[in-house]
Amino acid sequence: MKTALFLILILIQTPLFAQLKCKKVKQTDGTVVSKCFHKNGKVSTIETWDKDKRHGNLKGFNNKGQEIFSLALRHYGGHASALLSWYANGQVKSVSYTDSPDGGIQYYHSTSLFDEKGNQTSFTEDSYDDNPKSELEKLIIRDTTPKQRKPLVEINQVLEK
C-alpha cells in the first residue's frame, strides 16, 4: 500500500518538473534537436546536440518568442549541463546550470528563476576562483605583459662644496 501511494505521489509531481509538449528530431548530419513549446504554440526551449552528443546548446524563450537564455553544453572534459523546470503554460520556471571543466576542483553554478511570462526574477551564481564563467571567457586572450615604461634618466650634477 505504501508503495502504491508513493508511485501515485511521483506521478502527480512529475508534470511540475517536466515539459510534456516536446518534439525530438534527428537531422541527416546526426544532429539531434529537441524543441519544447508554450501552450500558445511558440517555442519554449531548443536543445541541440552534435551527432556524438559531445557539444550542445540550450536556448530558452518567453511566450512572445524572445530569447531569455542561451547555454553551452558538453559531455567531455568535465561537463556543462542544465536542469530545467517548467510552469504548466510551458514557460521555463528555473534553469540550474553547472560547468565543471576537466572534472577537477574548478566549477561554476548558476540558477535563474523566471515568472510565468518569461521575465527573470532571480539570478544566483557560485564558482571556484579560476573557473571561466562562459565559453567566451575561454576564448579571450588576455595581454599579461607589463607595459613598457620610459627609462628614468639620471642627471649627473656636480654637488656644491
DSSP assignment of 77-141 equals: SEEEEEEEEE-TTS-EEEEEEEEEETTSS--EEEEEEE-TTS-EEEEEEEE-TT--SSHHHHHPP
Residue 149 lies in a domain: no
Measured between alpha carbons, how far is 59 from 123 in angstroms, rounded to an integer?
17
How do the pLDDT tens digits run along the chain, 161 residues long?
Answer: 545 444 444 444 444 445 558 999 998 998 999 999 999 999 999 999 999 999 999 999 999 999 999 999 998 888 899 999 999 999 999 999 999 887 677 888 999 999 999 999 999 998 875 544 455 454 455 555 566 666 666 666 676 76
Question: Which amino acid appears at position 95 of this protein?
Answer: V
Provide CB contacts within 8 A for 157, sequence distance 6+. none
Q: Residue 155 CB: number of other CB atoms within 10 A? A: 4
- What is the number of domains present in the chain? 1
| Residue ranges making up the domain that contains 45 | 11-138
C-alpha cell at 21: 509538449
pTM here is: 0.66
Residue 113 lies in a domain: yes
